[in-house]
Amino acid sequence: MSAEVRFFEVGPRDGLQNEKTIVSPSDRVTMIEKLSSTGVRDIEIGSFVHPRWVPQMAHTEEVAAGLSPVEDVRYWALVPNLQGLKRAIGCGIDHVAVFMSATEAHNRKNLNRSLDESLASLEETMQAAGSNQMSIRAYISTAFGCPYEGEVDFEQVLQIGDQLLSNGAEHLSLGDTIGAGTPPQIREGCRRAVNAFGADRVALHLHDTQGLALVNALVAFEAGIRFFDGAVAGMGGCPYAPGAAGNVASEDLINLFTQIGADCSVDLDAICEASSWLHSEMGLSGSGRYLAYWQAQQDEEGS
């Protein structure tokens, strides 16, 4: 299993957005700088949504202004609409992510729009982003289960994905937003997505609600997925998805793929150091599993 696996770090956005603690812009910059030194090439630094919706993501302009470019690292920001895109452009962001759900109920709860209304709005936003030579990632939430509708028709996920790619997305991120996906379901859905769009255009975004995230990551890898989202320390969740647990921890994913011999190009110790800093210095919680093992090893080596 020597294939290359690429990671997309969502901790500074999706990880922090569901934390009760509000992290200052300067500490968010420190967090991103620590992650930038790990070998991860894509980092989501925040979102340009109204702070009334997600107060943890206020002052993302300050975060963007505080970052220095790092070679081969792309900084991304989530934008909900044209107004958010204008804010991203205003502070020099070159890579943006857009989002919608795979189900009507979650999309209306999250965005107060129907699926068709979201697709029309995103087409306009994505065209504007493309005109500004920006890279675009597209999230499809609740791709493997919805807190309001239950089981999701994956054919609809593929149809939405096709439209988002046609509108200019570089790749899709398929979200198991509430962690409802089972290994057979994840395997089949990922196989279909890879066959439809190609392995270079599909990422998988897992939450560890059932403790199945690493198993799901492994079967997705076997189905052809080579691009995985993770949040350092396993932080996160979705404010509009009842029951969602934290994201799968970046350090858990990297340890998994390192152990099976995949080419990760990420420093596992450096990711664990960032995770440890978030716990000890920032007082943030998380659901990662590997960190405790790593810390015990560090203590033994230091004794």
Q: Which H/E stretch holds residue 161?
A: helix 154-166
Instruction: Give the DSSP per-residue string, 196-263.
Output: HH-GGGEEEEEB-TTS-HHHHHHHHHHTT--EEEEBGGG----TTSTT--PBPBHHHHHHHHHHTT-B
Angle between helix 250-259 and helix 290-302 axes, rounded to 10 deg: 80
Side chain identity, residue 281: E
Instruction: Give the DSSP per-residue string, 27-90.
Output: HHHHHHHHHHTTT--EEEEEE-S-TTT-GGGTTHHHHHHHPPP-TT-EEEEE--SHHHHHHHHH
CA pair distance 157, 144, nearest whole angstrom: 9
Q: Which H/E stretch holds residue 111?
A: helix 104-111
Catalytic pick from 91, 146, 190, 238?
238
CA pair distance 216, 268, nearest whole angstrom: 20
Short-list 180, 182, 238, 229, CA closest to 209: 180
Burial class (CB in 10 A: 0-12, 13-18, 19+), 134: buried
CA pair distance 163, 181, nearest whole angstrom: 23
Confirm whether 146 is a catalytic residue.
Answer: no
The residues facing 229 across adjacent strands are 8, 205
Q: Which residue has the tokens 């930038």?
A: 36
Catalytic residues: 238
